[in-house]
Amino acid sequence: MSRTILRGRVLTFVSEPRGLDDTESYRFFEDGMIAIADGKVVSTGDYDAAAIGDAEVIDHRPHLILPGFIDMHLHYVQSQMIASYAGSLLEWLSTYTFVEEQKFSQQGHAGAVAAAFYDELIRNGTTTAVAYCSSHPRSVDAFFGEAEKRNMLMVGGKVMMDRNAPEALCDTAQSGYDDTKMLIERWHGRGRGLYAISPRFAITSTPEQLDASRALVAEHPECYVQTHLSENAAEITFSMELYPNSPDYTGIYEDYGLLGRKTLLGHCIHLNHRETHVLAETGSVAVFCPTSNLFLGSGLFDRERLAKSGVRIGVATDIGGGTSYGMLQTMDEAYKILQLRGQRLTPLNSFYMMTLGNARSLSLEGTIGTIAPGCAADLVVLDAAATPAMKLRMETVETLVEELFLLQTLGDDRSIAEVYVAGAKAKSTLGGL
């Protein structure tokens, strides 16, 4: 069994940090090593030349090596409409999103976009993401097919939507069920792929389709569920007009049995106290999408209130409402939103959320999100002096926390020195780099 040793400054989290002085929440090796074999971590710790043997050593000093970033919510089919001007969510959907997603009926389009999308993830240090495909099964095939080529752990699914969208995008309750069932059988558990049953949101699904989604969840409890919740005031009003017998927006999904520990709910900005209690009680995950929320003017996520109520929380780019593929920029905007809320987000918490925190939200903490024996060797190498401005600031950085905050605030794809997917170099092997 051949081994590879990565040498560098190794950082991995073991629990959620409780403050800047919570050194028990992470493991940091100033001169560390990660032994990799068969795509998994064999061991990690302080560098020990005597333990090298015949392993290949790749020296990344003075860079930081962390688990690869995890993105909990995005739309790969919106990759070509990022930075589309619109005033609000529903206008943006009708003007750009539904137009763009219709292109995925064209032969070859999904494959080309999927390849470019994965390149951008890797350039930005993301090794796992949870994605919405379009309503076309071929978009799902392209998404998981590309993941399989790259040996990446990815979660995704066909959007189910049978109303309030162009006819060319709409399925039916029955066809959405049939297509989803077929795609689960084809892709869930194949390679590193995991399926997410994906009714887009209450506005675009009839009661019959949500009932079909409930049947799919009952038949396939191993799969995730992803949808949108409480992103925008007009969205909430429209949803309640369509489902007047539900107590609130969350209650719609509750009524159809779609909440649970594998349910990922994008946005969750405007939740009342009952809704917050329901999410906590069911273990459902509220996914914070800061760049999208700011870009569309949707509102300010209340992380502290949800966390105190026991709600599980993830964080995501939400491409293409989101404005960056990078989790570093995403956490920079998360910090600013929470500043406006009067809530402090420490650099330790930011990097925890991008790695082990999101892995826990996916119930995959024994597989990804941490550097530990048996976990996948999905890793990112970070250069905190990647740009002239960062290099200048690094001259006065004295602590790990300061370095992490610099990376979060000024870092971008140039700060990603290398990415490893299942132990194999991924960024430096991309074309055009």
Please determine, for residue 1, whether its predicted confidence score (pLDDT) is greater than 70. no
Q: What is the average pLDDT across 251-263? A: 98
Res. 95 pLDDT band, cuts 50 70 90? confident
* pLDDT confidence of residue 48: 95
Q: Are 62 and 54 in contact (CB under 8 A)?
A: no
Report the pLDDT averaged over residues 123-141. Answer: 98
Q: Inform me whether the pLDDT recorded for 372 exceeds 70.
A: yes
Q: CA 29, CA 5: separation in Å to the nearest integer?
A: 14
Q: How far is CA 188 from each of CA 197, 260, 294, 316, 374, rounded to the nearest angstrom?
A: 11, 19, 34, 22, 21
**Mean pLDDT, the chain, whole residue set:** 96
- What is the sign of the dihedral through the CA atoms of 363, 192, 326 and 423? positive
Alpha carbons within 13 A on the beta-carbon side of 327: 33
Do residues 30 and 9 touch, judged by C-beta distance below 8 A? yes
Question: 247-283 as b/e, with b when 16 or more CB fall inside 10 Å?
Answer: ebbbbbbbbbebbeebbbbbbbbbbeeebbebbbebe
- Which of residues 176 and 102 earns the better pLDDT score? 176
pLDDT (0 to 100) of residue 2: 86
Cβ neighbours around 342 below 10 Å, total: 7
The residue-averaged pLDDT of 116-122 equals 98
pLDDT at residue 323 tops 80: yes
Helices (runs of H) and strands (runs of E) counted in the chain: 16, 16
Rounded average pLDDT over 340-368: 98
Q: What is the mean predicted confidence (pLDDT) over 161-177?
A: 96
pTM across the whole model = 0.97
* Phi-psi region at 39: left, alpha or beta (left = phi > 0; alpha = psi -120 to 50): left
Contacts of 12 (CB under 8 A, 6+ apart): 26, 27, 44, 66, 67, 355, 356, 370, 371, 372
pLDDT score of 87 more than 80: no
Residue 92 banded pLDDT, cuts 50, 70, 90: confident
Above 80 in pLDDT, residue 385?
Answer: yes
